[in-house]
Chain A
Amino acid sequence: MSSPACNVDPKTAELWDKGHYQYDVISTRTLGYFMYLLSDGMLFATLFAAYGVLSYQHSYFGGPTPADFVKPWYTFVQTMALFLSVLAYGFGMNALKHKNKSGVISGLLAAFVLGVLFLMLDIHDMTHLASLGISVATSGGMSAFIVLTQVHATHIFFGLIWILVMMAQVMIKGFTTEVVGRLLTLRMFWHLQAIIWVFVYVFVYLWGYMS
């Protein structure tokens, strides 16, 4: 016969939903956003693949390599700024659980300040490179290094704008379904930046410093 579920009796089968069917707006939103973030992760994976191919000795064409200018402890401070920002955001989310509006705002504010610190350290690092005469045009290896790290920094930049928007929305609109959903998606975005930073820090900065 036509299908595997022939054991359903057509005379008594339920044909139409009784009107109690609801779907979960928040988790639909977070699932879609998580999938977007994974595709963003694929973007970084492809950049890492490019970096892998362009970090051989000949890729630097005799010019400067990361070993010449990476200062591990400086970048470690950057790492801490980002991790603390993520931690602050986490505490803010904990306040959300208790409907604590000022807790959420201060968590977001701390996350924002620490994120700005991260970004300023990064900009300082880049201006230092520029003062050494190093840019994307120096060699293939340096193109890969700078573009990979700066794509991550760009993500941080847009994340910071988003944090500001969410602070305003929490203040103006309170904890509506949409605002809570956005706080959750921003949480994933911000945490994912920390996860990607672990890779950038270890495999680009530390490994670059080693070789």
Chain B
Amino acid sequence: MLVDLAGGWNPMLGRLAWSQIPYDNPILAPLFVAVVIGTIIILGLITYYGKWTYLWKEWLTTVDHKKLGVMYIILGLVMLFRGFIDGLMIRTQQAWAVGTHSSGVFGATHGYLTPFHFGQVYSAHGLIMILLAATPLLVGFMNIIVPIQIGARDMAYPYLNALGLWITAAAGALIMISLFVGDFAHNGWFGYAPIFELQYSPGVGVDYWIWTMELVALGTTLGGINILATIIKMRAPGMSWGRLPIFVWASLSANVIALTSFPALQVALGLVAADRYLGAHFFTAGLGGNLMLYTNLFWIWGHPEVYFVILPAFGMMSEIFPTFSEKPLFGYITMVLASLAIAGVSWLVWLHHFFTMGAGPYVNSAFSVATMLVGIPTGVKVFNWAFTMYRGRLTFNAAMLWAIGALFLLLIGGLTGMMLAVPAINYMVHNSVFVVAHFHSMLLVIVYAIFASVIYWFPKVFGFKLDEFWAKTMFWLFSAGTTLVFVPMYMLGFMGMTRRLDYVFNTAWHPYLLVMEFGIVVYMISVLAFFALLYVSIRDHAKNRVGTDAWGTSRSLEWLTHSPVPFYNFAVLPHISTRDEVAWRRDNGIDHVQPDHYEDIHMPNNTGVAIILGGLTFVLGFALVWRIWWLCILSLLAIMALVIYRSFKGDPGYIITAAELEEMEKDAMRREAQIGKQHYRVGGGVLGDAIAYERSDLPPLASQPGSSVGLDHRS
């Protein structure tokens, strides 16, 4: 049944052997030492400060959607950093290994990476950035914000939520361990048949790639179900569909895509696994397999996935523009319809990733037209944002700058996307770095929206604002890096440079590659600025504390509860009367009205089962990669036993009594009163175009929300 491996295998350790540890690799070995030392330092610090109990009780076993979201975001940021380092390595190799005279070190003929190692680096870069950076970051934000925005106390399935996080974390651990044990796939992040077949890739790299993706797919599907059920079933009284904040609509559309498309990825990779483990012939070159079937199945998932990550980013921008334009979002209904339309059309376009397959003019033109259709709802969104800002009172703080940056990148990426939708152009630039520059523009829209959201929602989650100076510094450095890397990349694409070159033969491209190298160094500095941002903000957190409505002009429901959000979200669930509930309450002077009495609430208990299941999933993945069959069976049995145990035990939850609740609420309000720095502007948030125009005779407002303009509380 199982294939015969050409290399060594023994029943105890599978394919694992000392020779699989790259201790002689001049890049990985020092890195490994650094990681070990870093881990020891971190674990030592936790032990020294006696934080293990705190960590276990408050974070690792939590089912609180906000903490899980924060952990998703931390996971995403760590992986974003890892993926960025991969990008730095790719750029450096391409700037170095140009022309026959370029030098080579560390065993490479040109540059410092051998072709096999270079292949692993770009494969890991792509997979990490899309599945382990963008996806967890966005899922994290949806996790934190969606339940509060719809006025729920938690997700529909808090335990499943924790499980989704830990399975995703297991996937991240699996791809990280591939650095030091064995190797990673060299077939690009989306893989090509038949190079990933056992015959051509006999190592374990492809197996790491398969099981990492399978685990992320599982975790994201679970998360998607949870968010959908939460939005459908858990809305607060009065929160009708027409009153949902736009980010919730975007999350809904995105998770419809996640729910429907991830199974296709699971099947595509599952069939690769069948080929590699059972000797099946799905994607082999001979014996009736079909190479392009893999590409087809992969992109059935792959294209919807692109919209799964872009839609929440659009939702974030749709929250940030109105807040800092002090106007309601222009065209709410069209925005909702556009999100749903993008989700729908995303299912009809996947062939544009392989126009060159040669399916013929009918197929290519049908998919080309469908792809161009995506431009319509996206255009609607761009115009809606532009009209939202038109005649608004714009505040150019860091969050707004990031959001506007995202808008510009969306224009560039979107228009080049329309070019690529034409099969005739696509045949010319297929697999060139023009395509690479296009999709990096689009994915950077997400990165920009994420940093905008980090700044925008940080005070809601942690109770204090991030430092404006460093946030803006980071923005400008990051934008300079983006320009310097991707403008030359578009140009090189037109000159015919193909992607994934470990050696660049054409020395005429060298200047462009050097500019890109300079750009990635600027990116590196912006990463340092991000660390400075975190350091300075945490150091000065006492100065930057905020109250409930951190920006003074916010609109949706998450700004009605305290900052930081208490673990029960709302002591008494709000009753929703209108869209943009917080803006409406503020405009009518009832935003400080508190509930007159409290009632007992029921909350779920923490559980250690989720993180243990995540650990077992990691063991299962590792055992599958190395074909340690006894460990596979053992971990699978342990997973089943634990699931059954949990199902017998159940979770009765616990009750917070009305008295306790009142005490906690009073505490929160006392803290808020001490801040005393919160200022509201006259009519803030409600001004329509005409009113804003009439009021332009008012003295100009300070550009920094939170700085005093002499107007006091209205409470």
A/B contact in complex, CB under 8 angstroms: yes
A47 to B573, CA, bound (A): 45
Q: Are A42 and B288 in contact (CB under 8 A)?
A: no
Nearest chain B CB to A181 CB, angstrom units: 11
B243 interface hit (Cβ, 8 Å): yes
Q: Which listed segment binds A: B368-376, B384-392, B451-459, B576-584?
A: B576-584
Q: Are B243 and A5 in contact (CB under 8 A)?
A: yes
A13 interface hit (Cβ, 8 Å): yes
What 1/0 mask marks residues of chain B from 552 to 582 whose CB sits below 8 Å from any chain A CB? 0001000000000000000011110111100
Interface members, chain B 152-175 (any A CB < 8 Å): 156-157, 160
Q: Are A19 and B578 in contact (CB under 8 A)?
A: no
Nearest chain B CB to A86 CB, angstrom units: 22
Could you tell me the dominant secondary structure of chain A's interface residues?
Answer: helix
Q: Are B237 and A50 in contact (CB under 8 A)?
A: no
A137 to B225, CA, bound (A): 36
Q: Are A58 and B647 in contact (CB under 8 A)?
A: no
In the bound complex, residues from chain A placing their C-beta under 8 Å from that of B282 are 50, 54, 140, 143-144, 147
In the complex, the chain B residue whose C-beta lies closest to that of A40 is B263
In the bound complex, residues from chain B placing their C-beta under 8 Å from that of A36 are 221, 225
Q: Are A17 and B233 in contact (CB under 8 A)?
A: no
Q: Are A35 and B259 in contact (CB under 8 A)?
A: yes
- Given A2-B587, A4-B579, A136-B274, A15:B279 Cβ within 8 A: no
A115 interface hit (Cβ, 8 Å): no
Q: Which 4 A-B pairs have the closest CB atoms?
A: A140-B288, A10-B588, A5-B578, A143-B280
A182 to B589, CA, bound (A): 47
B226 interface hit (Cβ, 8 Å): yes
In the complex, the chain B residue whose C-beta lies closest to that of A165 is B644
Q: Are A6 and B229 in contact (CB under 8 A)?
A: no
In the complex, the chain B residue whose C-beta lies closest to that of A36 is B225
Nearest chain A CB to B55 CB, angstrom units: 30
B686 interface hit (Cβ, 8 Å): yes
Nearest chain B CB to A160 CB, angstrom units: 12
Q: Are B290 and A13 in contact (CB under 8 A)?
A: no
What 1/0 mask marks residues of chain B from 591 to 615 whose CB sits below 8 Å from any chain A CB? 0010110010000000000000000
Nearest chain A CB to B227 CB, angstrom units: 10
A72 to B76, CA, bound (A): 52
Q: Which listed segment binds B: A26-34, A92-100, A197-205?
A: A26-34
A158 to B234, CA, bound (A): 30
A46, A60, A169, A182 pick with most chain B CB within 10 angstroms:
A46
- Given A1-B688, A61-B288, A165-B644, A35:B228 Cβ within 8 A: yes
Nearest chain B CB to A145 CB, angstrom units: 11
Q: Chain B: residues with CB nearer than 8 A to chain A?
A: 1, 3, 156-157, 160, 221, 225-226, 228-229, 232-234, 236-238, 242-243, 259-264, 266-268, 271, 274-275, 278-282, 284, 286-290, 293, 296-297, 300, 328, 555, 572-575, 577-580, 583-585, 587-590, 593, 595-596, 599, 640, 644, 647-648, 650, 685-686, 688
Apart from A39-B260, A50-B293, A54-B282, list 18 A-B contacts with CB within 8 A: A1-B688, A2-B328, A5-B243, A5-B577, A5-B578, A8-B578, A15-B575, A27-B233, A28-B229, A32-B160, A36-B221, A43-B266, A45-B263, A46-B267, A46-B268, A61-B286, A143-B282, A147-B282
Q: Are B577 and A17 in contact (CB under 8 A)?
A: no
A54 to B264, CA, bound (A): 16
A141 to B290, CA, bound (A): 10
In the complex, the chain A residue whose C-beta lies closest to that of B255 is A35
8 contacts between A and B (CB under 8 A): A8-B577, A8-B578, A17-B573, A24-B233, A28-B229, A39-B262, A135-B1, A141-B288
Nearest chain A CB to B359 CB, angstrom units: 12
A100 to B282, CA, bound (A): 49
Nearest chain B CB to A149 CB, angstrom units: 13
A59 interface hit (Cβ, 8 Å): yes
- Given A32-B157, A43-B266, A147-B280, A13:B577 Cβ within 8 A: yes
- Given A5-B243, A10-B584, A140:B263 Cβ within 8 A: no
A54 to B156, CA, bound (A): 41
- What total count of A-B pairs have CB within 8 Å? 188
Q: Are A46 and B300 in contact (CB under 8 A)?
A: yes
In the bound complex, residues from chain B placing their C-beta under 8 Å from that of A47 are 267
Q: Are A42 and B287 in contact (CB under 8 A)?
A: no
Q: Are B685 and A14 in contact (CB under 8 A)?
A: no
A42 to B257, CA, bound (A): 12
What 1/0 mask marks residues of chain A from 115 to 143 whose CB sits below 8 Å from any chain B CB? 00000000000000000000111111111
In the bound complex, residues from chain B placing their C-beta under 8 Å from that of A73 are none
- Residue of A46, A147, A173 near B264 (CB, 8 A) is A46
Q: Are A32 and B281 in contact (CB under 8 A)?
A: no
Q: Are B686 and A1 in contact (CB under 8 A)?
A: yes
Nearest chain B CB to A1 CB, angstrom units: 6
Nearest chain B CB to A144 CB, angstrom units: 7
Nearest chain A CB to B549 CB, angstrom units: 15
A32 to B234, CA, bound (A): 12
In the bound complex, residues from chain A placing their C-beta under 8 Å from that of B288 are 54, 58-61, 63, 139-141
- Residue of A42, A53, A165 near B263 (CB, 8 A) is A42
A195 interface hit (Cβ, 8 Å): no
Q: Are A3 and B578 in contact (CB under 8 A)?
A: yes
Nearest chain A CB to B421 CB, angstrom units: 23
A68 interface hit (Cβ, 8 Å): no
Nearest chain B CB to A171 CB, angstrom units: 12
A27 to B156, CA, bound (A): 11
Q: Are A143 and B579 in contact (CB under 8 A)?
A: no
- Given A4-B242, A10-B590, A17:B575 Cβ within 8 A: yes
B260, B572, B575, B578 pick with most chain A CB within 10 angstroms:
B578
A139 to B290, CA, bound (A): 11
In the bound complex, residues from chain B placing their C-beta under 8 Å from that of A63 are 288
- Residue of B259, B297, B589, B596 near A46 (CB, 8 A) is B297
- Residue of A23, A42, A59, A176 near B290 (CB, 8 A) is A59
- Residue of B160, B573, B587, B686 near A21 (CB, 8 A) is B573
- Given A54-B288, A61-B287, A61-B288, A15:B590 Cβ within 8 A: yes
Q: Are A35 and B263 in contact (CB under 8 A)?
A: no
- Residue of A4, A31, A136 near B232 (CB, 8 A) is A31
- Given A39-B260, A137-B278, A14:B221 Cβ within 8 A: no
- Given A3-B578, A40-B263, A165:B293 Cβ within 8 A: no
Interface members, chain A 150-169 (any B CB < 8 Å): 161, 165, 168-169
What 1/0 mask marks residues of chain A from 167 to 187 whose CB sits below 8 Å from any chain B CB? 011001100101000100000
- Given A4-B579, A8-B577, A58-B288, A15:B593 Cβ within 8 A: yes
A38 interface hit (Cβ, 8 Å): yes
What 1/0 mask marks residues of chain A from 69 to 93 whose CB sits below 8 Å from any chain B CB? 0000000000000000000000000
Nearest chain B CB to A27 CB, angstrom units: 7
In the bound complex, residues from chain A placing their C-beta under 8 Å from that of B297 are 46, 49-50
A27, A29, A32, A165 pick with most chain B CB within 10 angstroms:
A32
In the bound complex, residues from chain B placing their C-beta under 8 Å from that of A61 are 286-288
- Given A2-B685, A38-B259, A39-B221, A32:B156 Cβ within 8 A: yes
Q: Are A2 and B650 in contact (CB under 8 A)?
A: no
Q: Are B578 and A4 in contact (CB under 8 A)?
A: yes
Q: Are A17 and B237 in contact (CB under 8 A)?
A: yes
A161 to B287, CA, bound (A): 37
A2, A40, A58, A59 pick with most chain B CB within 10 angstroms:
A2
